[in-house]
Structure 1
Amino acid sequence: MFKQILTSIQILGSIALSSAIIYTAVWSAPIEAASNKLPDMGSSTSRTLSISQEQAIGDEYILGVRRYLPLIDDPLSIDYINHLGFRLVEQNPEAQDRRFYFFLIQDSTLNAFALPGGYIGTHTGLITAAENESELAAVMGHEIAHVTQRHLARRLELRNQLSFPTLASFIGAILIASQNPEAGVGMMATTQAGMQQALINHTRENEKEADRIGIQAMSRAGFDPGAVAAFFEKMQQSTRYLRKPPEFLMTHPVNQTRISDARARARNMPEPRNPDSLDFHLIKARLALSDERPNSKNYQENKKRLANKSLKSEVDQYFFALQSAINEDYKTAIDLLMQLYIGRQRNLIYLVSLAETYIQSGKPAKAIPFLESELKTTPTSYPLIMTYAKALIENEQPMAARAILLEHAYKKNAEPQIFKLLGKAQSMAGLVDEVHESQGQLLYSMGDLEGALAQFELALGQTSDDPYATTRIQAKIDQIQFILRERRYRK
């Protein structure tokens, strides 16, 4: 199901998005924008979106993405991809007035895509395939450029080139796919062929512009601009004999001219200052463990390498520490992680991984001092907040966990998982009334609006020491009811 729906998203334009109208119709309900109204499908008077309209479409669309796609919820991986993304955003002059949100999809294929409103998704397969951080930055800089250059708004002109019946049929197929994947995908097969070529033909100029803007931003950020051509060329060569190229190459057509242009631009740019990082390789190792099974052959081989002292690199030691934790050899995992942490005490990945292992081994109290010390320096760190709250919960301190989670849960772009953990802390503390709101927030952020509404209605008027709870809950109820009314109206 995930593969089918993800394919549907990519057909719609993936990077150079096909049309804001498609996104409006797919999820069928605008979130509050300046005008509370998104472009009408039947209107031909406006050919471009305002930034607020584009943002509203993206805010609605991400709910569907969260509901139907397998997103990574690991705080360290989320934190890394956001730090990398915003490092590039800072170097794109046209990005300063835009919102961005970076997320990871558990998928082995090589792909990344931009959605309306600055939502940028990256497949884990793209990260594990990249040899260095500059290659990953090359792709992300390109995606950011698609947002800042307003390629979505420009693509609205395409609707005059596609027949309305074809477009409506394709939209209907995606709606069906969300409820009945096989039926929806079958319907898509009958309508996508005619749209596909028009979409691809219409994106080549956008791709060139995104290449140019993206390579400038990554160079300013200190990455190696030569990674753009190198990565495209590597993918092209590695898939030359495959019947079907990677999805990234299907949505980003690459030819020798484009590679040569990227290489020529790179030659005229400064030498890279920070082309790679340890954190990239640690996160890459972490993501590579997603399919790890206990007592794997690779684990046994690494165990022998540790014994004969041939497990020398930090990344290999970190990888084996995580493998050891999976195999419940917590002593080995903690010893290795402690050694790595002592060597680089400000490395967040080592610290959080060490704390996670203490928690997994049933010793959360040992993790708490490490986390509290680092939180004094970086009090807004998402991985620290989540790991600290987990340690407090496992140490039977739910009220302390509740306090730190409430401090951060209602900030802009809060991750859905913070509400899941908050609900657990509230439940352990016996604050059942509060659990309904947290569950409502989680369900809403995951796209289950009916479930969220039911939870918010249960929460309304219940006991809470939060003076803003009632106002906040009622506002969410009003918002969801508005969206659901719009959906019924559009059916």
Structure 2
Amino acid sequence: MALAMLPVMTAMTFAAVVIPTQAAAQSLPSLGQSSAADLSPAMERKLGERVMREIRADPDYLSDLLLSDYVNALGGKLVAAARTVGLDASQSFEFFVVRDSDINAFSLPGGFIGINTGLIVATRTESELASVIGHETGHVLQHHIARMLGQQSQNSWIALGGMLLGLLAGIGARSPDLGMGIAMGGQGLAVDRQLRFSRDAEREADRVGFQLLQAAGFDTYAMPTFFERLQRADSINEAGVPEYVRTHPLTTDRIADMLNRSRTAAYRQPVQSPEYAFVRARSLVLQQKSASDYAAIADAQRTAIRAQTTSNVAAAWYAVALAEFKQRRWVPAREALEKSRAAFGGTGPGTPSLAVLASDIARLSGQPDEALRVAAQARAAFPLSQAADMAYADALVASQRIPDATKFLQAQVERYRSEPIWWRALAGAWAAAGKRTRQHAALAEQYALQGQWMAAVSQLKLAREAGDASFYEMSVIDARLHEFQRRYKDDKEDEKDFGKLAG
């Protein structure tokens, strides 16, 4: 799996300079002074975006909007909590999900934090999931890479360049072993001090993550509880050691530190989002890759429901419904979803996961009007949900309301300017409307956001040749064409700079 080699980056997480409160600073290990001059926030973001382009092009990157909505809302709560405890959380953060059954999470330059589906499935409460995301956010907030650069200067630049190029080589060639080899070679000059730094960084990230958990209203006992469970898995079966244990060595001292902090913290009853259980079930299904895998998940969940061994019947039926949906078995999917909704209780759309799946089943089974009704209801109930918005757009197209769909999607690309998925949806709507120039121009914007400059240029050339553009549209296309060609040249120059860092 191409993304399997991403944990090599975890020990070196990157972000904006942090200003802890005096009390917080006294409780953190000393890692030396951060040095924005060694690696500026702008360079961090540039590095992160360069890596993210490769990740987003990988089939194991999940662009599922329900998962994206949830992890960004959860991560957003932790980032907001950082501000309440005196941490500088002014930079941008993006949380994303990777299709991988390994229990792991990782940080990248510039505030990008990845979460494996396997980690989501392995947690038992939302607070446990928040504890791991809080730990990764702690790495980012504490600006660990700048601190390491301040300690190791040139050697760290070589290590950083080697790790980045190794990551890109492994992803681009779909050869994790090759990428890992390059990365490890680049780290050779600084490995001893890096390891000592990493141990201190892990303890610091624990303590910052603990502060975030507490300030955001989560159960602080979740951090030592989850880490202890992973440590037990490590000691019981070496062959099945969780990835998170391998990339974030869990020591008894670290777990004891978190446990002692939990005992002295004021208790607050955590409120778990009802969406958590459905996101966990969705992650279980989406990390599968074949029809036989989906069928096995559906059978296993039905067995657990009958045997009364599942802790959440509504989520178990949701997993059945989604697994049947992935096999395009509309009737059993609808029946399972109805049972999920009944077990969940209440009226209305329920949660975003329930509502969006209901709309998708209706749309793909030939009931576009029902899909549109459910999606409209979901949009009203969950105005911040991109998934509900996309379900509504899909239903508009399925209902042959193409002018309404293009108008709606044009508003969405303005609202979510940095999200390629909306430009792709708009391109589909323009294709349905027979507007080829606009279709190709929208695809060009999608590719540009993904850093695929030559693909974007090709789409703009197709837009120019489509024959249905106005004078104004042709002027815009020409301007964008020059812009994308310039960005392509800039990227090539950046690659040379990264090569110099590694050489």
> After superposition, what is the alpha-carbon deviation per residue over 1:273-311, rounded to whole angstroms, capped at 9, x for unaligned?
325333111111111112263583553465678899999
Q: Distance in 1 between matches of 2:156 and 2:94?
A: 33
2:400 is equivalent to residue 396 of structure 1 = yes
TM alignment of 1:413-452, pairs within 5 A: 414-452=418-456
Query: Which 10-residue stretch deviates more, 77-86 or 154-163?
Result: 154-163
The CA deviation at 1:445 is 3.1
Report the equivalent of 1:53.
43
* Equivalent-residue separation in structure 1 for 2:455 and 2:137 (angstroms): 33
Aligned match of 2:138 in 137, 142, 145? 145
Superposed displacement of residue 68, structure 1: 3.7
8 Å CA contact 2:301–2:319 kept in 1: the answer is no
| Corresponding position: 1:293 with 2:291 | yes
Corresponding position of 1:80: 70
Equivalent residue letter for 2:291: R
Q: Report if aligned partners of 2:15, 2:140 keep a CA contact under 8 Å in 1.
A: no
Whether 2:225 is the aligned partner of 1:230: answer yes
CA RMSD of aligned residues (A): 3.5
Relative to structure 1, is the Cα distance of residues 347 and 472 closer, same or farther in structure 2, using a 3 angstrom cutoff? farther
Is this contact kept in 2: 1:392–1:398, CA < 8 A? yes
What's the % identity of the aligned pairs? Answer: 26
What is the aligned length?
Answer: 463
Please list, as runs of the form range in 1=range in 2, the aligned pairs for 1:57-456 lying within 5 A after superposition. Answer: 57-68=47-58, 70-93=60-83, 94-160=87-153, 162=155, 173-174=166-167, 176-180=169-173, 181=175, 183-188=178-183, 195-240=190-235, 241-243=237-239, 245-290=241-286, 291=288, 293=291, 296-297=295-296, 299-300=298-299, 313-338=313-338, 340=341, 343-345=346-348, 346-412=350-416, 414-456=418-460
Q: Distance in 1 between matches of 2:277 and 2:75?
A: 16
Separation of aligned partners in 2, 1:489 and 1:168: 11
* Separation (CA, whole Å) in 1 of partners of 2:266 and 2:53: 41
Query: What is the rounded CA distance, in whole Å, between the counterparts of 2:305 and 2:164 in structure 1?
Result: 55
**Partners in 1 of 2:97 and 2:337 — Cα distance?**
25
Contact kept, 8 Å, 1:19 with 1:159, in 2: the verdict is no
Q: Write the distance in 1 (CA, Å) between the matches of 2:2 and 2:484.
A: 29
Quote the Cα distance in structure 2 between the aligned partners of 1:61 and 1:472: 27
- 2:30 counterpart residue number: none
Change (3 A) 1:456 1:320: same
Q: Distance in 2 between matches of 1:434 and 1:381?
A: 26
Aligned-partner residue type, residue 138 of structure 1: S
Structure 2: 5+ residue stretches without partners? 17-34
1:99 CA displacement? 0.8
Is the contact between residue 170 and residue 188 of structure 1 (CA under 8 Å) also seen in structure 2? yes
Distance 1:165 1:50, change over 3 A: closer
Residues 344/103 of structure 1: CA separation in 2 closer, same or farther (3 Å cut): farther
The one of 463, 466, 469 equivalent to 2:469 is 463
Distance 1:104 1:168, change over 3 A: closer
Matched, 1:483 2:482: no
1:377 CA drift (Å):
5.0
Contact 1:356 1:387 in 2 (8 A): yes
| Structure 1 residue 96, shift from structure 2 partner | 4.0
> Amino acid of the residue matched to residue 71 of structure 1?
Y
Residues 436 and 103 of structure 1: CA distance in aligned 2, closer, same or farther (over 3 Å): same
Q: Secondary structure at the match of 1:90?
A: helix
Per-residue deviation, 1:95: 4.7
Letter in 1 for 2:320: F
Task: Check the 8 A contact 1:422/1:438 in 2, yes or no.
Answer: yes
Give the drift of 1:188: 4.8
Aligned residue for 1:92, secondary structure, equals helix
Q: CA deviation at 1:213?
A: 1.6
Q: Which moved more, 1:317-326 or 1:261-270?
A: 317-326
Match of 2:20 in 1: none
SS in 1 for 2:61: coil
Q: Distance in 1 between matches of 2:216 and 2:327?
A: 39
CA contact (8 A) 2:375 2:395 kept: no
CA–CA separation in structure 1 for the residues paired with 2:338 and 2:426: 29
Deviation at 1:106, TM superposition (A): 0.5
Amino acid at match of 1:293: A
Partner of 1:40: none
The CA distance in 2 between the partners of 1:183 and 1:433, in whole Å, is: 41
3-state SS of paired residue (1:117): coil
Secondary structure at the aligned position of 1:260 is classed as: helix
Q: Note if contact 1:78-1:104 (Cα within 8 Å) is conserved in structure 2.
A: yes
Q: Structure 2 vs 1, CA of residues 434 and 316 (structure 1 numbering), >3 Å: closer, same or farther? A: same
**Distance in 2 (alpha carbons) for counterparts of 1:87 and 1:279:** 15
Shift of 1:248: 1.7
- Structure 1: gaps (5+ residues): 21-44
Of 466, 473, 481, 2:480 maps to 473
Instruction: Tell me the distance in 1 between the aligned counterparts of 2:309 and 2:178.
Output: 53
Instruction: Return the alpha-carbon distance in structure 1 between the equivalents of residues 314 and 11 of structure 2.
Output: 35
Partners of 1:174 and 1:351 in 2: how far apart? 38
TM-score (norm 2): 0.81
Deviations 1:188-234 (A, max 9, x none): 56555665544222122222222112111112222110111111110
Q: CA deviation at 1:103?
A: 0.4
